Structure 1
């Protein structure tokens, strides 16, 4: 009897140990998942709060002009990384290495990639700060020159300072882009971007030369316009034109000065396009300017002929009016009681 009970108890103990050995990995895996899930929630929530206190979304939205949700994205990435690590631990406890292997390799690659990612983010952040500082500096510098006001009043171009600052901003970011791609090891994107940056850098001297040519042309155009307007004003061209009955409602010196200003600016732009090597624009524009220059003498001659013809016709008309009025024909309507139909109009003027 005692042997029976002792054997029965011994069998029951053996069965309990057996079931414990079977369920212990499952319980451990569940515990790992639960703890990992809690840790993932806590860490992700903490990171999100830190980013919110730093105002990350607001700063990025202000810098890029677009709404940013980087706080939620970063916190979710951290949550899923920690949770995947917990899943890998649970699968390893269950000896499911064939399932956990791919996840483990993925996490390992991700962890190895983190230093490169942080370095790329740091370099990109430095480039972004530098680009913003240069953009703000360019805006303040160009604002002091009152370039926008001058171009707006002279040639109708507005917002040039803002456009130049934006071009410099994106150019600096473009220079930092190959460094970021190189750190990340994205060679498939690195080589095309690097070639593009090299082309842009090699093209910068041409852009600078073209900018100097256009700027000098603008200054020269203003000087020539001032000379033309001053010369015509000193010759009293406006008064003489009004005496013969032309250009009564317009300022002739200013009109001719603006015409000369436009010619000089167009010439400077054509030379600038040639410096840039944009033949598709410079060649037709040069041909157009050549035609305009050839036509100017003919236009001046035609204008002088028209003015002379107008003056002569006015002179002849005045003589004819005086001759006809001397015959007494203007008194005939009054004698015939027809003047009321003509009003103040005289027959000699007709």
Structure 2
């Protein structure tokens, strides 16, 4: 009975059991094969050192980041083999509901494999071409010593950014960008092919303009550098640096002599048209239009700046000449003795400027102010010209006020001396009073010349004179009180006698 039941059970599950055992065998063997393939792929990838190469390519000039591509590729190979193993397993154990979607995934992978391999081959070719182009550019730049020459021109010890490396890396990624539409087309990504192709076409169309702009800028820079060196050497040969030391433009406190300053100005003036030409060659209106407008305005202003500089330079020399003539003339007529005539005692110090020298400096300042007003008008700085004109007018008022006060001081001293010479009981008091009154009067006149409000000056002058008069009256009255009392008593006695 038991044997019959066992035979019936084996008849029912025997075929399924065999399928299950076969599936388990496929799963175990497939897992072992997948592990072997994973190990082989990892070792092969490790020998190629691909991850380090790609990391060095991406992080050129920097410390490369560990990508560990071997690990991810070997894992992908393992799961791909296991996917085939699982499909075989589920088909063997008669589970089509699970095997069918996995089989569909394998079919999609099989269909995409040629496209993926084609894209990988295109990327490999792009990498080879880009690497070769970068190597050629790096070697060329290293032979020409471009970085060292640019560093010497910029007067720096070591450049922060290598121009040759930047240019080589730019070409490297440009080659990859050129191959990008082909890669997308190989992958069947038609939606991305058209916009990427448009970007690549735009870049390729701009490359000739960029090269033309770079050539224009390089030629302009080369010419500007040569001309600057010629100008500096010619000016240094004419000993213009010593002239700069005399006028204070260059010297021990300045880092650049006058010849180099002028050479730098010439360098900039030549470089500006080169920059304008380069911007025009780019053809990018959004960038070139405002920059060209600004540089054109600067170039148009250069003649005005030169004209203003010439006016100031001529005015300086003319002012120095006139200042010297005025100082010598005033010194010859004894102008330095004016303080003594006015009763002012100045400290006798040989290091101090004489009065005639001070007047000479004032004349020089006036000439430079006039030239500054004219230069400001030439440059179109109306507000600056008005400000200088106002300052000069105020300076003239101050000088006139000083003249008025000096004349008043002379007259006050003269009046005091005359009163003292006439003598009398109150000669000293009257002389001092007259001197103070004259000084107050001329002080008010001088303040009015400066431009101080006339009403304030008049009120202060009236109050001061009134106070002086009241003080004089009180002093006279209090000092003559007894005499006035006797006179009044005599007048009263005479009136009583007549009655």
Query: If the length of structure 1 is used for normalisation, what is the TM-score?
Result: 0.85
1:80 corresponds to which residue? 79
* Match status 1:347 vs 2:341: no
Q: In structure 2, what is the Cα distance between the partners aligned to 1:218 and 1:162? A: 21
1:143 corresponds to which residue? 142
How far is 1:263 from its partner? Answer: 2.6
Q: Which runs of 5+ in 1 are unaligned?
A: none
Deviations 1:133-173 (A, max 9, x none): 21122122123323333334445886322222122111111
1:30 corresponds to which residue? 24
Q: In structure 1, what is the Cα distance between the partners aligned to 2:112 and 2:184? A: 13
Equivalences for 1:79-118 in 2 at 5 Å?
79-118=78-117
CA separation of 1:183 and 1:56: change in aligned 2, threshold 3 A: same
Q: Which runs of 5+ in 2 are unaligned?
A: 60-64, 359-499
* Match status 1:45 vs 2:48: no
Give the one of 250, 254, 260 matched to 2:260.
254
1:217 corresponds to which residue? 220
Q: In structure 1, what is the Cα distance between the partners aligned to 2:6 and 2:291? A: 103
Q: Are the aligned partners of 2:279 and 2:292 in contact in 1 as well (CA < 8 Å)? A: no
Q: In structure 2, what is the Cα distance between the partners aligned to 1:265 and 1:144? A: 27
Q: In structure 2, what is the Cα distance between the partners aligned to 1:195 and 1:301? A: 52
* Match status 1:277 vs 2:276: no
Give the one of 171, 183, 186 matched to 1:183.
186
CA separation of 1:151 and 1:279: change in aligned 2, threshold 3 A: farther
CA separation of 1:12 and 1:285: change in aligned 2, threshold 3 A: closer
Per chain length, whose mean CA-contact separation is higher, i.e. which structure has more relative contact order (CA < 8 Å, sep 6+)? 1
CA separation of 1:252 and 1:337: change in aligned 2, threshold 3 A: closer
Q: Are the aligned partners of 1:61 and 1:68 in contact in 2 as well (CA < 8 Å)? A: yes
2:472 corresponds to which residue? none
Give the one of 191, 196, 199 matched to 1:193.
196
2:171 corresponds to which residue? 168
Q: In structure 1, what is the Cα distance between the partners aligned to 2:282 and 2:303? A: 31
The SS at the match of 2:352 is coil
Q: In structure 2, what is the Cα distance between the partners aligned to 1:287 and 1:22? A: 88
How far is 1:219 from its partner? Answer: 1.7
Q: Are the aligned partners of 2:46 and 2:70 in contact in 1 as well (CA < 8 Å)? A: yes
CA separation of 1:203 and 1:294: change in aligned 2, threshold 3 A: closer
Q: In structure 2, what is the Cα distance between the partners aligned to 1:296 and 1:202? A: 36
1:291 corresponds to which residue? 297
Q: In structure 1, what is the Cα distance between the partners aligned to 2:68 and 2:22? A: 37
Q: In structure 1, what is the Cα distance between the partners aligned to 2:247 and 2:16? A: 117
Give the one of 288, 291, 313 matched to 2:319.
313
Deviations 1:155-213 (A, max 9, x none): 58863222221221111111122222222222222222222222222222222222221
* Match status 1:12 vs 2:6: yes
How far is 1:10 from its partner? Answer: 4.7
1:302 corresponds to which residue? 308
Deviations 1:6-53 (A, max 9, x none): xx6455323323232232222222222222222212211221122223
Structure of greater Rg: 2
Query: If the length of structure 2 is used for normalisation, what is the TM-score?
Result: 0.61
Q: In structure 2, what is the Cα distance between the partners aligned to 1:287 and 1:191? A: 36
Q: In structure 2, what is the Cα distance between the partners aligned to 1:199 and 1:246? A: 51
Of 314-323 and 140-149, the range deviating more from structure 2: 314-323
2:129 corresponds to which residue? 130
Q: Are the aligned partners of 2:138 and 2:165 in contact in 1 as well (CA < 8 Å)? A: yes
Q: In structure 1, what is the Cα distance between the partners aligned to 2:350 and 2:131? A: 76
CA separation of 1:338 and 1:160: change in aligned 2, threshold 3 A: same
How far is 1:232 from its partner? Answer: 2.8
Q: Are the aligned partners of 1:244 and 1:311 in contact in 2 as well (CA < 8 Å)? A: no
Deviations 1:223-264 (A, max 9, x none): 322333234334433333434444333322221222222232
Q: In structure 2, what is the Cα distance between the partners aligned to 1:45 and 1:109? A: 26
